[in-house]
Structure 1
Amino acid sequence: MSENSDGGDDRWLIVRGRRWRRTDPALAPRVAEELKSRLGAARNAVKQAKKRGDENDLAEARRKVDIAKYGLGERGEYWWEMAVEDRERRAEEALKELR
């Protein structure tokens, strides 16, 4: 269960007492959905690589998780401190790298 305890602030999500940065709300739905899809695939690849004990695949899968989260604005510079154009560019660059 999640709760938002930052007084209505839409920048953070609180899950089990841990604060997570939310996805950038300015991203076009198509871009956000594709990045989330790529994130899900990368997370699955992390799980599978762990099962196999394949450190090379694990490193690559984690790199892809990081790229997707960066594109979504969940890592890197805070999206709310960036110009919308820069946020959109960051997301598009992450998608290009993940394709």
Structure 2
Amino acid sequence: MVAEQEHTPDGHFVVIDGRRWRATDPEIPPEAAARLRRLLMAARRDVGAALRAQDAEAEREARARVHLAKTALGERGTPWWEQSAGERRQRWQDGLDALSQSGD
């Protein structure tokens, strides 16, 4: 069982080992958030494989997918708490669309 993450009082960040990281947008529907997390983890695995293979092009492509997934989750880019509901929905949907085109 995964322990509940500590959040800052405003809910904008999680605290892991004393370091703040931007929290995932809590308004992303659970199925979409789970799919984005799966795509993020696959991209991170691909970064590692590319590094082991010393394949710079594959590494760049995988890192771009990591960035897309983290942006779609609201962990990068314009903070989700500064976006309208429509902008937030568009952000995660655009991320899912782009990542699906790169092979889901």
Taking structure 1 as the reference length, the TM-score comes to: 0.91
**Structure 2 SS opposite 1:51:** helix
Shift of 1:65: 0.2
Q: State the partner residue of 2:99.
A: 98
Q: State the partner residue of 1:46.
A: 47
**Structure ranking higher on relative contact order (CA contacts 8 Å, 6+ apart):** 1
Runs of 4+ in 1 over 2 A off after TM superposition: 1-4
**Structure 2 SS opposite 1:47:** helix
Mind listing any 5+ residue stretches in structure 2 that lack a counterpart? none
Taking structure 2 as the reference length, the TM-score comes to: 0.87
Cα RMSD of the aligned pairs, angstroms, is: 1.3
For 2:90 and 2:31, locate their aligned partners in 1 and report how far apart those are by CA, in whole Å: 14
Note the alpha carbon deviations across 1:26-56, whole angstroms, 9 max, x for none. Answer: 0111111111110010000011111111110
Identity across matched positions, percent: 39
Shift of 1:3: 3.6
Equivalences for residues 12-91 of structure 1 within 5 A: 12-91=13-92
For 2:76 and 2:91, locate their aligned partners in 1 and report how far apart those are by CA, in whole Å: 11
For 2:62 and 2:46, locate their aligned partners in 1 and report how far apart those are by CA, in whole Å: 6
Mind listing any 5+ residue stretches in structure 1 that lack a counterpart? none
